[in-house]
Structure 1
């Protein structure tokens, strides 16, 4: 290289670190009854922090899936081809139980362990998390019909990734998708027009167009369609038991902002064979457990995105020098980095608390089930909404390098709005909180009781809680005010968790910035006296 091309003052790639060496994550793992999974979590964390795992994510996104509607002779095949890196990501996720594996594990904390691993490996590449998440969430919906559940649940929970279009029961492991959204309805699934006509053999034939179906190469789909009894949930396999292709025709793949490694498609149901899941005419009720599971994963995945951006920003700021000092030593940069760390830790602590509530609700805890019903919707609204701003600020910490594809930050930024849209945009989530508060007063009581567990720990928290309780009792124009109300619910829940479980510098800085002033400005506006050193040091990526 000519002397003018000498490379200096450029950070080394962030490799060979343990993604799971994240205090907020590991402390939550212990607190939520899943400490027994620590060894496997750190094994996965070391893999996720390796250069080869980073390369898998880059390759899967650079080589996007391609649709083949017909073979060379004109036969309709409707297959999607993926780069080998995609299959490595999927095989790794399934073999480590990030999909439906905890449904076959009776240990307390099994779903928390799965959430922690999902959080860890999502930081490598988020696109593959979609089919993993849907497979996890499909099991409780499928259990509304014992016969197909008995046949398919062992395959959904198996830790074997077996790609290819074959009859589900001929495979060693299968994946599930969900096919609900239609172009005229979006989140309003009751407006769906796909028809389901019963046959003499007890099956149904589905005819209609699904506007947005992610992971179209899944083995089975849970689908909503209008049966004679009303909107009903159906199980639709890609390949029928006799080996013939079901008539799910892939019309095209969506050209998306992000999530490029994952195929999302428009599907045409042309008399597709299907079986009822749950009670006919009660499709929304049947599918709601699946939606709860995928919404929880939206929170976990967004928290993972914040952590991924934060560690990149910290790593860069430690090694990059400007104006005679490392960036991380510059006071204003420390303010920004500490603020990003607060947001990340608050999201992670909340995600782990929600995973714990889900785990205990599945095991029959009615109080935790009531809390989960409201808290997951609150977290879905807020944490997913915060990720795009967090990703943009983390990208800016890298300067021009962060704007270049090779840094990985543009991919993170493009991915950042997805979880806020998937499974109901911000308005849908906020209104869902209002419905839950109105229909399930016991859930509202449990939610407030959770907040009160931090009462007396910080005067700013106490004042904010008092204001929230007043707002909850004021129902005038409540739909118009829904976003502001749910935002305050989320901030108080995060603050309550941090005040109880995180070090004092973290909890005090969060309460002071989010509850104690005219917060809402850009990251990096923490007050004088904030212990940025303690906040930053706690969150540095740890080498293997």
Structure 2
């Protein structure tokens, strides 16, 4: 799928990690990040293929589906660059609600001519974006943030403010623009903070240190210090949380697409290895228990992929259909929750099929394994997401109507799915359902919608195996516990051609 030279570039971008350069040779503050050239090459590849902006550039049916498929494919090459890519993708629709700012920034944001130069934006062909809301006390409770913004002149949407405070975590430290959540007199607000000002001088943004992360090492994350830093308000003062949620609708989509791609990468590596590794005079792929493991993993990967493509279709239709908009909003949260709960054990199981070689750094598997947990944390960890699902149902009743309409379209096709749907329906419409059940509901909803998608779009061998093991009691709690009646050969052949 990717030429060997691109795979080599990903190895370089992750082995020779970014470095913070705070001062130049004259002792002047520059606060820049230096990357291996491979990082810029890979990010440029993503820009050329419009992974950051296809729906905003194309404006035609199917553009979100095409972009979703592209991100699943690209995440099988390198995930780190997809952080600034997804943030750019998420900021564009939010920024369009502030037309004066969109007029200035959107052309540079959606450009396919990636420009890595750390120079004023007026001299660049394109810009990249970062996001920060997290402070030392935690990231989810935005109302407790202490970074404060005061008007530089007339307050209000689109106007200039001065920000002061400390951000404990900012993604994509090398970006040209930082999307910042800060307090105003009326509550949280959202601001676009450029690295350079219109007169060509640097905006006072101090990069304090780069984070030493478990994974995602090619992408530098940083701590920031603002001291009367210039930013421009997006939306109303005090309406920062709704503004952030509009942004997160799209970035959460990416946080489910990327682990879906990682599943596919890990599965492909496992299948390839087991077809070329021999033990006890037989290929691993020919041994019944290994076939069970691979088939079970293939079910999980196909279920994730099929669900993500359905959500992408809802995003495509959201401007014409209120029902599809509501379906996309609720289901992207369900997918973000569930796919990230599954990807870590999934990648571990794929690594285990390799035996010892899978644990060695020359293999891609250790990097994928380190990368696997991050998207479950970004843009809301499991508790935040599952509680958001409950709040969405209660705040927007249409969400429940459209979600269950999608499930009811396959009513009667599988009794196990029917029972799961009714259990979800009772929970969703129970006004007294305790929050402590939020994760259970999110899990059941994810399994139900995945099963419904497979029934509609996959062969019976796939959908029936999924329903009997994920909704029934025929499977176990780990991968590789499919019952003997499952057509494992058909499932594996569908997952890997060749």
Question: After the TM superposition, which residues 250-269 of structure 1 pair with which residues of structure 2 at under 5 Å, given as runs?
Answer: 250-269=207-226
Question: After the TM superposition, which residues 15-30 of structure 1 pair with which residues of structure 2 at under 5 Å, given as runs?
Answer: 18=1
8 Å Cα contact 2:149-2:161 kept in structure 1: yes
Distance 1:210 1:164 in 2: 24
| Range with bigger deviation, 448-457 or 485-494 | 448-457
8 Å Cα contact 2:400-2:428 kept in structure 1: no
Distance 1:112 1:477 in 2: 35
| Range with bigger deviation, 193-202 or 207-216 | 193-202
| Range with bigger deviation, 466-475 or 147-156 | 466-475
Q: Confirm whether residue 151 of structure 1 aligns to residue 107 of structure 2.
A: no
Distance 2:419 2:246 in 1: 35
Match of 2:480, SS state, is coil
Gaps of 5+ in 2: none
Distance 2:475 2:130 in 1: 40
1:493-529 Cα shifts (integer Å, max 9, x gaps):
0000000001111111101110111656110000121
Q: Confirm whether residue 407 of structure 1 aligns to residue 363 of structure 2.
A: yes
Look up the match of 1:13: none
Look up the match of 2:249: 292
Look up the match of 2:91: 138
Look up the match of 1:14: none
Q: Which of 25, 43, 54 is 2:7 aligned to?
A: 54
Question: After the TM superposition, which residues 264-343 of structure 1 pair with which residues of structure 2 at under 5 Å, given as runs?
Answer: 264-343=221-300
Look up the match of 1:30: none
Q: Which of 184, 191, 212 is 2:137 aligned to?
A: 184
Cα deviation, residue 539, structure 1: 1.0
8 Å Cα contact 1:315-1:541 kept in structure 2: no
Q: Confirm whether residue 238 of structure 1 aligns to residue 195 of structure 2.
A: yes
Question: After the TM superposition, which residues 85-124 of structure 1 pair with which residues of structure 2 at under 5 Å, given as runs?
Answer: 85-124=38-77
Distance 2:83 2:325 in 1: 24
1:444-468 Cα shifts (integer Å, max 9, x gaps):
1100111111211122212222222
Gaps of 5+ in 1: 1-17, 19-47
Look up the match of 2:174: 217
TM-score, normalization: structure 1? Answer: 0.89
For these two proteins, the number of residue pairs brought into alignment is: 494
Look up the match of 1:429: 385
Cα deviation, residue 176, structure 1: 1.5
8 Å Cα contact 1:101-1:159 kept in structure 2: no
Distance 2:136 2:410 in 1: 45
Cα deviation, residue 430, structure 1: 0.4
Look up the match of 2:354: 398
Higher relative contact order (CA 8 A, sep 6+): 1
Distance 1:144 1:391 in 2: 39
| Range with bigger deviation, 50-59 or 237-246 | 50-59
Match of 1:208, SS state, is strand
Closer, same or farther in 2 for the Cα pair 1:541/1:289, shift >3 Å? farther
8 Å Cα contact 2:178-2:193 kept in structure 1: yes
Q: Confirm whether residue 451 of structure 1 aligns to residue 404 of structure 2.
A: no
Match of 1:54, SS state, is helix
Match of 1:204, SS state, is strand
1:196-232 Cα shifts (integer Å, max 9, x gaps):
1112375211001111101122111211111122211
Distance 2:107 2:153 in 1: 29
1:106-159 Cα shifts (integer Å, max 9, x gaps):
210112111111110111111111011001111012112111101211111111
TM-score, normalization: structure 2? Answer: 0.97
| Range with bigger deviation, 396-405 or 228-237 | 228-237
Distance 1:348 1:485 in 2: 21
Match of 2:346, SS state, is helix
Q: Which of 485, 488, 495 is 2:441 aligned to?
A: 485
Look up the match of 1:9: none
8 Å Cα contact 2:393-2:428 kept in structure 1: no
Distance 2:167 2:265 in 1: 33
Q: Which of 302, 325, 343 is 1:345 aligned to?
A: 302
Distance 1:72 1:158 in 2: 33
Match of 1:166, SS state, is coil
Q: RMSD of the alignment, in Å?
A: 1.3
1:62-116 Cα shifts (integer Å, max 9, x gaps):
0000001111221111010001110110000001000023212121011211111
Match of 2:300, SS state, is helix
Q: Which of 416, 425, 429 is 1:460 aligned to?
A: 416
